[in-house]
Amino acid sequence: MSEPVTLNRRRVLNLGIAGAGAAALTPALAAAQTPDPLIVEKQEWTQYLGEGVNAKPYGVPSKFEKEVVRREVEWLTASRQSSVSFTPLHALDGIITPNGLCFVRHHGGEAEIDPAKHRFMINGMVDKPLVFTMEDVKRMPGRVNRVYFLECAANSGMEWRGAQLNGCQFTHGMIHNVVYTGVPLKAFLNEAGVSPKGKWVLAEGADASAMTRSIPLEKAMDDCLVAWAMNGEALRPEQGYPLRLVVPGWEGNMWVKWLRRVEVGDQPWAQREETSKYTDLLADGRSRQHTFLMDAKSVVTNPSPQAPLKSKGPNVLSGVAWSGRGTIKRVDVSMDGGRNWRTARIEGPNFPRAMARFYVDFDWNGQELMLQSRAMDDSGYVQPTKDELRKYRGSNSIYHNNGIQTWLVRPDGSAENVEVS
């Protein structure tokens, strides 16, 4: 740590925060400057009345946060109807992604669905096919609340052949982590009565792309949810309002939005999204199919290219980690490109198949840093380096790039996406 800042007790009293006790404030302010009461007292917003209650019936962030928005990568945006926006991970904290900042990926535009007219059907190899209204869906017994990350399998897909995009929003922002409210898919399948021949289900969306994915029945009966709420309110239209499938720990593409149908069958359907897309070309020329699981991964969100270091002395490194296999057990951080590692502090709720937040309190004297983070989960899986990953996967892949990310932090505090080998 740098030299502790000496606090003049009288000046603290002048600030009007003496209630907390000057002595108790000293450690928390170790990274701050000596307060100047004159400046504090002149702040203009103490001079006039603020906006009245309910001026904004639906609250929005402060205008000073207007840069904190979803962003696109221009060369990835051939058409807005089949595109992706990215979560501003560098500007968020804690573990929950705010609804308005959750990245959006869709293949046929955002469906606008009247919930009164929406129907959810279970059909195929079942005793009795069933059709549910949204009201019926919400009357199902066994409602649950669960926090899960959703990561598009193409997250970090642009980085296979080397460092590309400057910012964790773009390299890692095809992920969000919210609390879902819904009912286990199993309850609907049991109600319809799955035939003993049933081995797979096909989930289908009601959007123009009619997104369809095959999911093993075992997973469907395990932890999949039929969800209508995220973070306590109705799903946002772009996230599948009024109903979406939640497929914990598995690739985002399977989380069918605007969910209208689940069909039971005895084999996978070989839809577009599980044949020509979402399969992985390997180094030896063969292709992997049905790579559903999202492996353990992490990224340092601060500092990062969009969030440079601004001050020497005490700083807080922050990041997120997640694993489709289970719970994040440990995150190690390196500041010298992977030579030395220290264990980060995982802070806050840490649920299986959800994002975990980590911190390292560190002191920066202006030296160059090569920041990396490495996640480990409770299955024993350790996040690989990009070189380790390429040995088996080659570099012609798009999906499932969970290699360790490196940010170079320069003496002026600016940061850049680099690779070390």
Query: Rule CB under 6 A: which residues touch ligand MTE?
Result: 102-107, 150, 152, 176, 205, 207, 209, 211, 238-239, 252-253, 255-258
Q: How many CB atoms lie within 10 A of CB 3?
A: 7
What's the min distance (Å) between Cβ of 329 and ligand MTE? 26
Nearer to ligand MTE, 173 or 268 (CB): 173
Q: Give start and end residues of each alpha helix (H) in 350-393.
A: 386-393
Q: What is the DSSP string of 163-216?
A: ---SSHHHHH-SEEEEEEEEEEHHHHHHHH-B-TT--EEEEEESSTT--EEEEE
What's the min distance (Å) between Cβ of 179 and Mo ion? 21
What's the min distance (Å) between Cβ of 238 and ligand MTE? 6
Residue nearest to Mo ion (CB): 152
Nearer to ligand MTE, 26 or 209 (CB): 209
Nearer to Mo ion, 190 or 275 (CB): 275
Distance separating alpha carbons of residues 295 and 375, to the nearest angstrom: 10
Residue 386 Cα distances to 93, 358, 404, angstroms: 26, 21, 6
What's the min distance (Å) between Cβ of 154 and Mo ion? 5
What's the min distance (Å) between Cβ of 210 and Mo ion? 16
Nearer to ligand MTE, 30 or 293 (CB): 293
**Residue 375 interaction partner, one of ligand MTE, Mo ion, none, beta carbon < 5-8 Å per kind:** none
Peptide bond into 242 cis (omega under 30): yes
Nearer to Mo ion, 97 or 406 (CB): 97
What's the min distance (Å) between Cβ of 103 and ligand MTE? 5
Distance separating alpha carbons of residues 91 and 17, to the nearest angstrom: 28
Nearer to Mo ion, 252 or 305 (CB): 252
What's the min distance (Å) between Cβ of 27 and ligand MTE? 40
Nearer to ligand MTE, 147 or 344 (CB): 147
Which residue, 399, 415, 408, 405, is CA-closest to 385?
405
Q: What is the DSSP string of 321-358?
A: EE-TTS-EEEEEEESBTTSS-EE-EE-S---TTS-EEE
**Residue 403 interaction partner, one of Mo ion, ligand MTE, none, beta carbon < 5-8 Å per kind:** none
**Residue 332 interaction partner, one of Mo ion, ligand MTE, none, beta carbon < 5-8 Å per kind:** none
Distance separating alpha carbons of residues 377 and 355, to the nearest angstrom: 12
The helix (run of H) or strand (run of E) holding residue 416 is strand 415-418
**Residue 205 interaction partner, one of ligand MTE, Mo ion, none, beta carbon < 5-8 Å per kind:** ligand MTE
Residue nearest to ligand MTE (CB): 205
Residue holding tokens 């190690």? 332
